[in-house]
Structures are given as C-alpha cells and as structure tokens.
C-alpha cells in the first residue's frame, strides 16, 4: 500500500495506459475456454468422420526377403530421402538435418531485437521477404532437381529436333533403344553437364585423383578403440557428392541474403530471418512433395502415389 | 427492477441452481461456485489444475482465431487424443514379429471399434506432425520467438523432434511391408553418418537388420519413452509461456 501511495508520480498517461490494457483483457473463462472447447469438439468430429471414411493403410505382412520398389521412408522424412539422391548419404541423412535443426533453434539468438513481436508480419518489408524467399526456394530447388534428372538435356533435344520424332531416340515398346541417325543429341563435348554425377563420370579425371591415399593418420579411429581406417579419397566423387552440394546448400542462401541486402530488400536481421526461414520452408515442402508424389520405381522422377502398392 | 413486484419466495430456477452448485459435493470438488460471475470465473481457472495451465485473464488479440489458429492447442489436443487411442490399441497389440501383423489385422476386422481406433490414431499422428510444423510457422511469422521467449522456441524445436520420432517409431509397429521398409530406409540414413553412424544404427535397430529386436525397441520408445519425454517438454513449454507473460504482443 505504501508503494501505491508513493507511486503518485506515475503520469496520467501511464495510468490511462494501464487502465486501457486492463480493459483490453478478457476472462479466460469463458472467452478462451469456450474457443478451446469448440475447436476440440470440431476437430474430434472431423477426425472421426475422416476415420470412418478413410482407412489407415495396411500392406502385406513384413517380409525382409522382398524389397518393394520404391522403398520409401515416412512422408515427413522423404525430403531427406530426396536429398539422398543428390549427395553423399552422410550429408543427406545426418549432417544436413542436424545442422538444420541447430540453425532453427538458433534463430532467436541471432535475431535478438524486440520489435514487431506478437503480430503477423507487421515489420516493414516482411511480406516481400517472405514472397521472395518462398519463390526462390521453390524455383531454385525445382531447377536443381530437374538438372540432376537431366531435364535440360531432354528439353534441348526436344527443341533442336522438330517434327514427329523429336522424342527419339526413345525406347521402343520392348524397351530397346531406337537407332535414329538423324537425331540431334545433346553435344558430346558437354556430356559432363548432363547431371551432377556426369561431372564425375564424363570427365577424364587423372587416375591418381580417384584414389588419393591419406593413410590411417587422418581419421584416428584407433584412438576410439575402433579399427584403423586407411583413407583413400576419390576426389571426383568428393566434388560431386560433397563439395558441390555443401557449396550449394550454404552458398545459395548466403547469395540470396547478400543480393537482398544489396537491393535493400533485407535490411534488418528480422528481414534476413524471414527471407531465409521462408526459403527453408519452401525447400522443405518442395522436397517433401517431390519425394512423396514424384519418385516412382527406382526413385525415378515420375508421378507416383503410395496407393500404387495396392 | 424497482418497478417489478417483490418476488414470492425463491424461484424454481434459483432452487435448482443452489441445489446443484451450492452443496457440499460440488464445493468439495470445485471449491468455487458455478463460474457465472467474474470472480467465480477467475477462481474456476485458478483453482483447477487443468485449467490452471491458463492465466485467468488474457489479452483480447490472443483470443482471435487468426492470431494462433489454435495450432499449439491443436497439437496438444492431438497428443492427448493419441494417448487415449494409443492406450486402447495397446490392449490388443503384442510387439512380436509373429503376432504384430495379425493383431493389427484383427483390430481392423474383429475388434469392435478397433478399426475406428486405429484409423483415428493414424490420422491424428499425421495431423500432429502437420499442426506442429504449422504452429512453428505461426510462431515464427508473428515474431513470438523474440526475447524473452528465445528458450521456449528451443523447447519447441525439441518438441518438433520428439513429435517426428514418435511418429517414426509408431510407423514400424503394424509390421507390414510399408512399415518394415520405411524403417529400413530411415535407419539406414542414420547408419550413413561418418564413424558413429553404423554403431548408432546397430543400437537403434538392435542388430544388422530390422527384426524382432528393432520392433521391441521401437515399441518401448513409442509407448513410454518418447511420450514421457514429450510430456515433460510440453510441461516446460506451457510453464514457460506463463512465466514469459503469456503470448507475445507488441511492446
Ligand atoms: C508438440 C509440440 C507443441 C505443442 C503441443 C505446443 C503447444 C503450444 C501452445 C498451446 C502454445 C500457446 C499458443 C498457441 O497455441 O499458439 C504455444 C506457444 C508457443 N510455442 Fe509451441 N507447441 C509445440 C511445438 C512448438 C514448436 C515446434 C515451436 C518452435 C520451434 C514452438 C514454439 C512456441 C513459442 C515460442 C510459443 C509462444 C508463442 C507466443 O508467445 O505467441 N512450439 N505452444
């Protein structure tokens, strides 16, 4: 009480503000509890209807001897399984998700300002950053996947071969390649640009580079009580499986941020966070969609649904 | 009011009301009267252990559906629903490679409401992954991770991981081709980590390939280990929301 009397100097404005804040408050019972109750009932109803109408999938009993083609992880991991097709498995399966989760958790420690919290995207430039991040993430990921599936090769051949036979040499009905001497194929000198992997397979790398002996002194597994490992580095494979993918995953987002900063789109840390987070979500969604609906037999890039199993 | 006549004794409604809410039984359970006055409404929230997750008052804007889209609440709701349907499924399911598949088939065909329980459990599990991801997006785009809520965001990331792991461990249990091979693909990813990947995969699967040992490990994690962890982290998550002064709002 003594404190309250002493606190007289609080200006009228401050007291008015305090009163206004009080007035802007609602009682949790009924206002919030009611909303919660209604949405719980609503969603229980919707889920019950869904569960009556659509059955959970159940295939044949597990059989370790029969590998289905394709074999897929649960849908929320298909983004990682998609990455697996384009880079070293240790990167796709472990390092990328670990780094991504740590980066996600670190967001508040990077963007430390207190501004514009508690409202949907009210900071200046919030929406432009969201849209640019999402579009660049979507288009960029799609293009990279198309590149690795050699879509540009097919596109080129489609352009330079007018007329009926433009898709030849395709495969005849019994799966044999059709011999068509008039066909203008992708130039042989550019074979190394057919896909990411062709950089390794279509270039005459000196054989020394394919097995650079580093001996057992690099990975000191013996110190952990594990067998010693003689490390032979296959440089071309390393370029294709590690250096380029890491370069793309680290470099392209940095490039995006730098460009957005140059043109004044991303000025504050919150701007950069919105740009990057939106890009990340877009990449995540696109990889999941492609992994789920566009990877069929042999994980080829073709339309696919899980119900093909039935 | 003053113009009406004096009431002739207490009305039936009043007497029913008193009978229902002003008796020893009600008071012994709820402490406060029926929440029809502001005082009782606040007491109802503050004295009830479940409702006490909430503050007694809340800012106007936070009740608007479009502020949170109820996504955090929905994730929690689905977690509770999954616990209930999961317990019911446990009555019928034995985690052995000889029985598991047959038990699921029996749930689908022989057990009354078995199929409904299994379907509910499955759809809620998919739903929870979605709502948690969308909740994360709503928290991000409302800037609600900013100080002082940094750590609660981190707790959230842990909850996201736990949600994915819960879903993943459950995926194996029906012991059909989908389950076996999805988990094989998934655990092989773990095995591809440098150095410690293969030993980790071996521990997770309990052998060189997904079999009985993996089934019992995944089952145990799915029905007790991970739910317990998730419950602990949710407790921290909710506690922190209260400690941090409710939901974020503009300064
Ligand atoms: C099992 C998963 C989760 C559950 C059950 C859950 C539950 C909740 C609930 C009920 C709220 C209250 C407001 C609302 O409904 O939006 C909330 C707020 C919050 N959640 Fe979560 N959450 C989960 C996961 C996450 C994740 C993945 C993140 C972030 C990575 C996160 C970060 C936060 C933060 C920072 C707040 C405070 C928001 C504010 O002040 O406006 N939570 N959570």
Query: What ipTM was reported for this prediction?
Result: 0.89
Q: Which of B139, B167, B230 to mutate to test the pocket of ligand 1 (most atoms within 8 A of CB)?
A: B139
Cβ contact B64:B74 at 8 Å? no
Chain A CB contacts of B59 below 8 Å: 21, 24-26
> What band does A174 get if pLDDT is binned at 50, 70 and 90?
low
Chain A residues with CB-CB distance to B48 below 8 A:
none
- What whole-number distance in Å separates Cα of residue A24 and Cα of residue A21? 5
Minimum distance, in Å, between the CA of residue B46 and any CA atom of chain A: 10
In this structure, are strands A212-215 and A231-233 parallel, antiparallel, or unpaired? antiparallel
Stronger pLDDT, B223 or A179, i.e. the higher one: B223
CA B183 – CA B173 distance, rounded (Å): 10
Cβ contact A29–B44 (<8 Å): yes
Task: Read off the CATH number of the domain in which B226 is found.
Answer: 1.20.810.10
Question: When comparing pLDDT for A215 and A156, which is higher?
Answer: A156
In a domain, B8, yes or no: no
- Tell me the pLDDT band of A163, cut-offs 50, 70 and 90: low
User: For ligand 1, is residue B34 a contact (CB within 6 Å)?
Assistant: no
Has residue A24 got a pLDDT over 90?
Answer: no
Measure in Å the smallest separation between the Cα of A156 and chain B Cα atoms.
35
Residue A164 within a domain: no
- Count of Cβ atoms closer than 10 Å to residue B43 Cβ: 18
Looking at the 3D structure of chain A, how many domains does it have? 1
User: In which band, very low, low, confident or very high, does the pLDDT at A278 lie, cut at 50, 70 and 90?
Assistant: very high
pLDDT of residue B215 exceeding 90, the answer is yes
3-state secondary structure (DSSP) of residue A182: coil
| CA proximity to B86, closest of B237, B242, B221 | B221
B189 vs chain A: nearest CA distance in angstroms? 5
Query: How far, in Å, CA of A43 to CA of B69, rounded?
Result: 13
Mean of the per-residue pLDDT values of chain B = 91
Residue B1 lies in a domain: no
| Distance of CA A101 from the midpoint of ligand 1 (Å) | 16
pTM recorded for the entire structure? 0.90
What pLDDT score does A134 carry?
98
Query: What average pLDDT does the segment A109-132 reach?
Result: 93
Range of the domain at A95: 78-149+195-299
In a domain, B144, yes or no: yes
Residue A262 has a pLDDT of 97
Mean pLDDT of chain A: 86
For residues A116-135, average pLDDT = 94
Q: What is the pLDDT of residue B23?
A: 85
In this predicted structure, what is the pLDDT of residue A1?
39
* C-alpha to C-alpha distance for B127 and B81, rounded to whole angstroms: 11
- Residue A104 inside a domain? The answer is yes
pLDDT, position A17 = 65
Confidence tier at B63 by pLDDT (50, 70, 90): confident
| Residue A65 contacts B where some CB pair is shorter than 8 Å | no
| Domain range for B204 | 69-243
Q: Give the pLDDT band (50/70/90) at residue A167.
A: low
The answer to whether residue A56 sits within a structural domain is no
The distance in angstroms from the start CA to the end CA of chain A is: 75
Q: Is the CB of residue B76 below 6 angstroms from any atom belonging to ligand 1?
A: yes
Interface size, chain A vs chain B, as Cβ–Cβ contacts under 8 Å: 239
Q: Which pLDDT belongs to residue A172?
A: 60
In a domain, A88, yes or no: yes
Determine whether the interchain pair B51/A119 forms a contact, defined as Cβ–Cβ distance below 8 Å. no
pLDDT at A3: 45
Mean pLDDT of B185-203: 85
Counting the structural domains of chain B, the total is 1
> CB B45 to CB A28 under 8 A?
yes
Give dist(CA B186, CA B191) in Å, integer: 9
Q: Do B193 and A26 touch (CB under 8 A)?
A: no
Taking the C-alpha atoms of residue B206 and residue B199, their distance in angstroms, rounded to an integer, is 10
Is B23 domain-assigned?
no
pLDDT of residue A104: 97
Q: Among the atoms of ligand 1, which is closest to the Cα of residue B67?
A: 16
Given a cut of 90, whether residue A217 has pLDDT beyond it is: no
Average pLDDT over residues A122-137: 96
The whole-number pLDDT of residue A6 equals 47
Task: Considering only residues B190 and B105, tell me which one the structure prediction assigns the higher pLDDT.
Answer: B105
Residue B6: what pLDDT? 59
Specify if B25 maps to a domain.
no
Give the residue with greater pLDDT, A222 vs B227. Answer: B227
For residue B135, the CA-to-ligand 1 centroid distance in Å is 6
Average pLDDT over residues A242-247: 95
The verdict on the CB of residue B237 being under 6 Å from ligand 1 is yes
Average pLDDT over residues A220-235: 78
- DSSP annotation string for chain B: -TTSPPP-S--HHHHHHHHHHSSHHHHHHHSS--S-SHHHHHHHHHHSTTGGGS-SEEEHHHHSHHHHTTHHHHHHHHHHHHHHHHHHHHTT---STTTHHHHHHHHHHTSTTHHHHHHHHHHHHHHHHHHHHHHHHHHHHTTTTSTT-HHHHHHHHHHHHHHHHHHHHHHHTT-BHHHHHHHHHHHHHHHTSTTTHHHHHHHHHTSSSSSHHHHHHHHHIIIIIHHHHHHHHHHHHHHHHHHTTSS----
Q: How confident is the model at residue B161 (pLDDT cuts 50, 70, 90)?
A: very high
pLDDT of residue A228: 76
Chain A residues closer than 8 Å to B122 by CB? 56
Question: Is B46 a domain residue?
Answer: no
Alpha carbon B193 to chain centroid, angstroms: 32
- B248 CB near ligand 1 (under 6 Å): yes
Is the CB–ligand 1 distance for residue B129 below 6 Å? no
What's the rounded mean pLDDT across residues A207-235? 79
Report the nearest atom of ligand 1 relative to the CA of A104: 30
Averaged pLDDT for residues A227-235: 81
- pLDDT higher than 70, residue B55: yes
Whether B131 lines ligand 1, by a CB cut-off of 6 Å, is: no
Q: How remote is the C-alpha of B166 from its chain's centroid?
A: 12
User: Does A174 or A107 have the greater pLDDT score?
Assistant: A107
**Best-predicted range by mean pLDDT (A2-6, A201-205, B73-77):** B73-77
Q: Do B177 and A104 touch (CB under 8 A)?
A: no
pLDDT at B224: 97
**Coil vs helix vs strand at A98:** helix
Q: Please report which confidence band the pLDDT of residue B220 belongs to, taking 50, 70 and 90 as the band edges.
A: very high
- Within a domain: residue A190? no
Quote the DSSP letter at residue A275.
Answer: H
- B121 vs A187: which has the higher pLDDT: B121
pLDDT value of residue A304:
85
Closest CA to A107 of A285, A284, A278: A278
CB contact under 8 A, A90 and B140: no
| Domain membership flag for residue A201 | yes
For A192-202, give one letter per residue: b (16+ CB within 10 A) or e: ebbbbbbbbee
Comparing A207-216, A257-266, A277-286, B2-11, the range with the smallest average pLDDT is B2-11
Residue B58 inside a domain? The answer is no
pLDDT-derived band at A176, boundaries 50, 70, 90: low
């Amino acid at each position: 009480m003594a404190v309250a009397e002493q606190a007289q100097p609080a200006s009228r404005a401050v007291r008015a503000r305090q009163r206004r804040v009080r007035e802007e408050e609602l009682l949790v019972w009924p206002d919030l509890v009611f909303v919660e109750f209604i949405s719980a009932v609503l969603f229980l109803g919707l889920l019950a209807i869904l569960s009556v109408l659509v059955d959970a999938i159940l295939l044949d009993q597990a059989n370790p001897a029969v590998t289905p083609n394709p074999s897929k992880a649960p849908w929320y991991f298909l983004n990682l399984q998609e990455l697996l097709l384009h880079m070293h498995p240790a990167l796709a399966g472990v390092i990328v998700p670990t780094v991504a989760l740590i980066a996600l958790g670190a967001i508040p420690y990077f963007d430390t300002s207190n501004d514009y919290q508690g409202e949907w995207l009210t900071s200046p430039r919030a929406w432009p950053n969201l849209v640019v991040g999402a579009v660049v993430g979507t288009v960029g990921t799609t293009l990279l996947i198309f590149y690795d599936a050699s879509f540009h090769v097919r596109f080129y051949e489609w352009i330079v071969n007018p007329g009926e036979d433009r898709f030849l040499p395709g495969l005849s009905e019994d799966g044999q390649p059709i011999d068509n001497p008039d066909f203008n194929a992708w130039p042989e000198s550019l074979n190394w640009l057919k896909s990411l992997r062709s950089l390794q397979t279509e270039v005459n790398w000196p054989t020394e580079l394919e097995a650079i002996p580093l001996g057992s002194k690099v990975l000191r597994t013996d110190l952990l009580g594990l067998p010693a490992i003689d490390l032979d580095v296959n440089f071309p494979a390393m370029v294709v499986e590690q250096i380029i993918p890491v370069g793309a995953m680290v470099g392209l987002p940095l490039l995006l941020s730098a460009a957005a900063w140059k043109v004044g789109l991303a000025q504050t840390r919150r701007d950069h966070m919105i740009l990057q987070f939106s890009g990340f979500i877009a990449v995540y969604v696109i990889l999941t969609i492609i992994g789920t609906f566009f990877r069929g037999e042999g994980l080829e890039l073709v339309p696919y649904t899980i119900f093909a199993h039935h | 009011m003053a113009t009406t006549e004096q009431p002739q004794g207490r009305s039936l409604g009043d007497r029913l009301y008193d009978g229902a809410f002003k008796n020893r039984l009600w008071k012994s359970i709820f402490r406060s009267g029926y929440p029809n006055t502001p005082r009782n409404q606040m007491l109802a929230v503050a004295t009830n252990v479940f409702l006490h997750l909430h503050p007694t008052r809340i800012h106007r804007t936070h009740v608007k559906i479009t502020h949170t889209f109820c996504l955090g609440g929905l994730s929690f709701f689905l977690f509770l629903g999954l616990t209930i349907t999961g317990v019911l499924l446990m009555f019928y399911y034995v985690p052995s490679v000889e029985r598991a598949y047959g038990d699921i088939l029996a749930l689908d065909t022989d057990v009354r409401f078995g199929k409904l329980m299994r379907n509910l459990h499955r759809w809620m599990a998919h739903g929870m992954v979605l709502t948690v991801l969308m909740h994360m997006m709503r928290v991000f785009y409302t800037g609600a991770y900013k100080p002082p809520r940094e750590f609660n965001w981190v707790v959230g990331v842990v909850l996201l991981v736990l949600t994915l792991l819960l879903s993943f461990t459950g995926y194996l249990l029906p012991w059909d081709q989908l389950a076996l091979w999805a988990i094989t693909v998934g655990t092989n990813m773990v095995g591809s980590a440098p150095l410690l990947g293969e030993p980790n995969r071996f521990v997770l699967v309990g052998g060189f390939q997904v079999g009985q040992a993996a089934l019992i490990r995944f089952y145990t994690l799915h029905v007790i280990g991970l739910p317990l962890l998730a419950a602990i982290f949710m407790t921290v998550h909710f506690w922190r929301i209260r400690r941090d002064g409710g939901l974020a709002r503009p300064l």
